[in-house]
Structure 1
Amino acid sequence: MPLRQFRFGVSLFTGVSRGGWQNRARRAEELGYDVVLAPDHLGMPAPFPLLAAAAMVTSRVRLGTYVLNAGFHRAALLAREVASVDQLVGGRLELGLGAGYAQHEYEAAGLPFPGAGERLDHLAGTVTELRRLLGDDDHVPVPVQRPTPPIMVAGQGDRLLRIAAQHADIVGIAGALPRDGGDTGHAALADKIALVRDAAGGRWPDLELNLLVQTVLSDTDRQPDLSFLRGFAPGLTDDQILALPGVLRGSAAAIADTLRGYRETYGLTYFTVTERSMAAFAPVIARLR
C-alpha cells in the first residue's frame, strides 16, 4: 500500500478581531499549511464563524474544528451547522470532535458535567447520527462534500480512540505520555496505534492518523521554556518532556526526518501544531512536500 501524503494543520488560538483572525489564516496558507483549525472553548470566539471568516481570505486551505466539544451539541442542530458552514466555505470543512473534558466549561454553560462514559457515549452517538443526517439527500441544508465532510475524532483515552477507529475518517491522537519509567512516550504511542488498528478492522487502510504536536523547538535553544507544557505532562522532568513524541526539537531537516520516521513506524501522516509553533514549523513543511 503506498504511503499516504503528509498533511499539516495549525490551530489558531488568537485573533478575536476579524482582521487579526483573517491575517493569521492568510499567513497559515502562505506558510504551506493544509488546514486552518479553530478550537472550541468557552472564553474563545465561536469556531464556525471563525472558519467562515477564514474562507473569505483563503483559497486553498481546508478549514476545521480542533476539536468541537460534542457535549455542547445535539446531532440534529450540529448537522445543520455543519452543512451550512460547508456550503459557506465551498466544501472545505473538516469537522473535528472530542468528548469534552473541562468541567468548568460545562458549569459556565449551565450544563451538567456527565461522567466519562456518558460523554463518550454521547460522542459516539453524535458521530453516528451526523453521518445519517448529513448523508441523507433529503436533509436540508445539504453539505457540499458528500456524503459528509471528513470527520475527525480526537483525544487520548483508549475508549475514545476505539470510537474514532470505528466511526471517524481521521483519528486524532492528542498525546502519548510515558507508560512506565523506561518509556519516552513512544512505546505508549505505539500502543495507541495498535489499539486503533485493531479496533478499525477493515476500516484501517482508509483511516488518516493525526498527531498533535505540543511544541516545536530549535536545537540552538539549550534551555527552552517548557512551562506551558506542565499541565499536559504533570510530574515529568524537562528531559522527559523533550523526549515526548509530540515535542519536536532540532533543525528543520532533522524534524522532517523524524516525521518521515513517524509515517514509516506509526502510519502518522497528518500533524497539527498550535499557533505558538506556526512559524517555526513552516520550514519543516517545505522539506516534506
Structure 2
Amino acid sequence: MTVRLGLALPQYGRFADAQALVTVAQEAESQGFDSLWVGDRLLTPLAPRDRYPGGDGTIPPAHRTFLDPFAVLATAAAVTSRVRLGTSTLNANWYPPAVLARSLTTIDRLSSGRLEVGLGLGWSSDEYAAVGVPWDGRATRFDATLDALEAIWRDDPVSVTGPDWDIPPSHILPKPVQLPRPPVHLAGFSPAALARVGRRADGWLAAAMPLPRLADMWKTIRESAERSGRDPDEVRVIVRVNPVVVDSPAEAAPPGRGTVEQIAGQLRATAEAGVHEIFLDLQHTAHDPFQLLDLADRLRKTSGL
C-alpha cells in the first residue's frame, strides 16, 4: 500500500505570514507532497480551564498567533493545482452548519475538488465560551452538525433542524465538486469518538503515538465499522506528526522527536503499521519557511515515503 505524505501549511506563530504560506504551498507541491493541512485555534487564555492535549499540557506559545483556516486553504487552493487540501481539525461546533457547509463547499469549488474535511470537537472550553457555544452537550451537537452537513451537501432543497438552528426548506448552492460530499475525517481518542469514526467517517485523524496504542485504537474503529455494516477497509487512518528535530540522537526518542534519521525511521514504522497517510507539522521546529521546506524534503527522502 502506498502511504501518502502531507505537510502542514504555515499558519501560526512565526509562520503566520502570507509569503511563507504561498512559498511553502507551491514548493511542497513541487517536491511531491500529496496533501497540505491547516488547524483551527481561536485564542490562548492566560489562565486556561483545560490542559492542552499534548506535551506537558501547556499551550504552545506559537499558538497565540493563528491565521483563519478557511482563508489559508483558499489561498493554498489558488496557488496549487494538484495537492489535496485538508483540515486537521476544524472545531465543527464553533460554526453554524449552514455557514460551515458554505465555507467548505467554497474551498472544494475553488480547488476543483481537492478538499479533505477533518472535523473534531476541540478541547478548550474557553474557546467554546468565546464563540458562545455551550460546552455541555458538545458530542450531541457534533453529531447533529455532521447530519446537517450531509443534508446540505446532498439535498436540494434542504431542510434541517438542530439543537439551535432551523434551516427552512431552501436552496443552498452550489454543491461541492466532490459528490455526494467531500471526504469527511473525524478526530478523537475516546471510546465514543473512535466508535463515531467507525460508524460514519471516511477516515480517522490520529496523532503520533506509540504504535501499539495506535493499533488498539484502530482495532476499536474497525470493530465499530463492522457493527455498523460498513467495510472497515474503507476507513482511512491519517496521522499527524509534529516533529522536533535535534542534532544528537537519543537512545529512546519519543514519537516525533529525534534526528532526521530517527524521525524518518519512526515515519517508516508508522507507515508499515498500515496507516494510509502521514502529515508533518514542522512549525514547532523550523525557524523559517526555507528551513521548513528543507526539513520536509530531507524527512521525505530519508523515510522513503
| Residue 67 of structure 1, CA deviation | 0.6
Measured at CA, do residues 53 and 6 of structure 1 come closer, stay the same or move farther in structure 2, by a change above 3 Å?
Answer: same
Offset from partner CA, 1:15-69 (integer Å, 9 cap, x none): 4343232122223223332111111111422111111111121121111211100
Provide the secondary structure at the position in 2 that maps to 1:143.
Answer: coil
What letter corresponds to residue 112 of structure 1 in structure 2?
P
Gaps in structure 1 of 5+ consecutive residues: 177-184, 224-237
Gaps in structure 2 of 5+ consecutive residues: 44-65, 158-171, 286-291
Measured at CA, do residues 128 and 111 of structure 1 come closer, stay the same or move farther in structure 2, by a change above 3 Å?
Answer: closer
Match of 1:173 in 2: 206
Match of 1:164 in 2: 197
Instruction: Say if 2:77 and 2:107, in contact at 8 Å, map to a contact too.
Output: no
Instruction: Say if 2:78 and 2:110, in contact at 8 Å, map to a contact too.
Output: no
Moved more, 148-157 or 127-136: 127-136
Offset from partner CA, 1:256-281 (integer Å, 9 cap, x none): 5544443443x212112113365424
Match of 1:75 in 2: 97
Match of 2:277 in 1: 270
Q: How does 1:164-203 map to 2 (within 5 A)?
A: 164-176=197-209, 185-201=210-226, 202-203=230-231
Instruction: Report percent identity of matched pairs.
Output: 31
Offset from partner CA, 1:48-103 (integer Å, 9 cap, x none): 11111111211211112111001102222211222122112221111110111112
Aligned mate of 1:209, from 237, 244, 250: 237
Aligned mate of 1:145, from 163, 173, 178: 178
Instruction: Say if 2:241 and 2:278, in contact at 8 Å, map to a contact too.
Output: yes
Instruction: Say if 1:172 and 1:211, in contact at 8 Å, map to a contact too.
Output: yes
User: Aligned equivalents of 1:59 and 1:170: distance in 2?
Assistant: 23
Instruction: Say if 1:127 and 1:167, in contact at 8 Å, map to a contact too.
Output: no
Provide the secondary structure at the position in 1 that maps to 2:127.
Answer: helix
Moved more, 28-37 or 66-75: 28-37
Equivalent residues, number: 254
| Residue 110 of structure 1, CA deviation | 3.5
User: Aligned equivalents of 2:156 and 2:35: distance in 1?
Assistant: 27
Measured at CA, do residues 136 and 125 of structure 1 come closer, stay the same or move farther in structure 2, by a change above 3 Å?
Answer: same
Provide the secondary structure at the position in 2 that maps to 1:19.
Answer: helix
| Residue 186 of structure 1, CA deviation | 3.0
Measured on the aligned residues, the alpha-carbon RMSD in Å equals 2.5
Instruction: Say if 2:117 and 2:184, in contact at 8 Å, map to a contact too.
Output: yes
Match of 1:109 in 2: 131
Matched, 1:221 2:254: no
Q: How does 1:29-108 map to 2 (within 5 A)?
A: 29-43=29-43, 44-108=66-130
| Residue 250 of structure 1, CA deviation | 5.0
Match of 1:154 in 2: 187
Instruction: Say if 1:35 and 1:63, in contact at 8 Å, map to a contact too.
Output: yes
Instruction: Say if 1:11 and 1:66, in contact at 8 Å, map to a contact too.
Output: no
Matched, 1:288 2:288: no
User: Aligned equivalents of 2:88 and 2:223: distance in 1?
Assistant: 25
User: Aligned equivalents of 2:257 and 2:146: distance in 1?
Assistant: 32
Instruction: Say if 1:68 and 1:96, in contact at 8 Å, map to a contact too.
Output: yes
Instruction: Say if 1:156 and 1:175, in contact at 8 Å, map to a contact too.
Output: no
User: Aligned equivalents of 1:56 and 1:127: distance in 2?
Assistant: 27
User: Aligned equivalents of 2:5 and 2:145: distance in 1?
Assistant: 26
Instruction: Say if 1:256 and 1:284, in contact at 8 Å, map to a contact too.
Output: yes
